[in-house]
Amino acid sequence: MKFSTTKRILILIGAIILLVGVIFLIRAFSAPPKYEEIDARFRELIDKSYDVNVILFGEGLPTYEHVSDPKSSTEVIHTGEFVENEKGEQKERLIYYYYTLDKENTVFAYRDSYLEDYTYALLSNTKLDADALKQKFPTKEGDTATYYTEIYANESEKRFCYTIPYEEVKYGYYYTSADDETYDYVRHDSMFFTVEDIKEKIEEVYSYEYSNSIYGSVFEGTAAGDSVMTPKFIETTASNGSMMLAQSNTYGSMKVEKRVYLFETAKINKLSSNKKLVRITVDTYLPSNPEKIVEREITLVFENGNWFLGNPTF
């Protein structure tokens, strides 16, 4: 009888030891890391997230300005002046002209035929002298052409026209009516050419689950009742025949500030963290309001051998 009781006690002690060992192993494998172990990666992710947040939630990627080639809208002036053509025939002189894309001045380009180079003229509502024109439109070194000549004046209409030295702004892409008005093409020097390029950038920072949670609205669009939000980024064939990455110019974007993180205050919330999902609380502020310091909770997810952000950082 005593042997039986002793045996039971030994079995009970063994079970307790085993249970304690299991609990210890569970805690060992599920316990969150120390903050010092992930501090460098946390700082790296926060820094990388700034550019990604702008792409996803802010103004997006740099795009080619949505302008059309002004030469495509060339008009003709019938001057009433007759000139002799190469066959010796009298023909009314025609002047071909278009308005440039100058945002500050009313400048137009004109020429007598398609074989000539364009000459530029400034249209003003006030009379200008040569000195004022020279100051605003200086000649380049070596340019010996005659400028600042008044070629038209009408006091009653307040219209005065002067020849000027001028160089048009060059645009990277000219849109046509075949291009979607609601999308602008992403600049080639941004080094993003496809949707996959953007996804690669996102997935360098954000976890798989979080990335996929936003891909629908950013790359596919969403519908709610009668309203439809088109995707922010698409790949499409441009009017020049090339496949291009395009960004919506009607997509609602936010002003995304580079939130400042006070890393010296960062700590792991052990009550809501484990070995593969860590919640870090850290004091932060926005540059626009540095006096207002708030505590943010940022989630890190361990996947594919590294840590990634589980929520946005702006």
Identify the pLDDT of residue 290: 95
Identify the pLDDT of residue 23: 41
R_g of the chain computed on alpha carbons: 34
Identify the pLDDT of residue 87: 83
CA dihedral 70, 74, 79, 84 (to 10 degrees): 120
Rounded CA separation 265/136 (Å): 55
Q: What is the DSSP code (8-state) at residue 148?
A: -
Identify the pLDDT of residue 144: 86
Domain boundaries along the sequence of the chain: 34-59+255-314, 70-163, 183-248
Identify the pLDDT of residue 225: 67
pLDDT digits (tens, 9 = 90+) for 192-221: 999 999 999 999 999 999 999 999 989 998
Is this structure's pTM higher than 0.75? yes
Identify the pLDDT of residue 188: 95
Helix (H) or strand (E) holding 203: helix 195-203
Identify the pLDDT of residue 147: 95
Rounded CA separation 223/234 (Å): 17
Q: Would you say 244 and 233 are in contact if contact means Cβ atoms under 8 Å apart?
A: no
Which stretches of the chain are assigned E, i.e. beta strand?
75-84, 90-99, 107-111, 119-124, 150-154, 159-163, 183-185, 222-224, 227-229, 233-237, 243-248, 260-268, 277-286, 289-303, 306-309
Spans of the chain, pLDDT less than 70: 1-30, 224-225
Which residues make beta-bridge pairs with 210? none
Identify the pLDDT of residue 22: 41
Identify the pLDDT of residue 118: 94
Identify the pLDDT of residue 25: 39
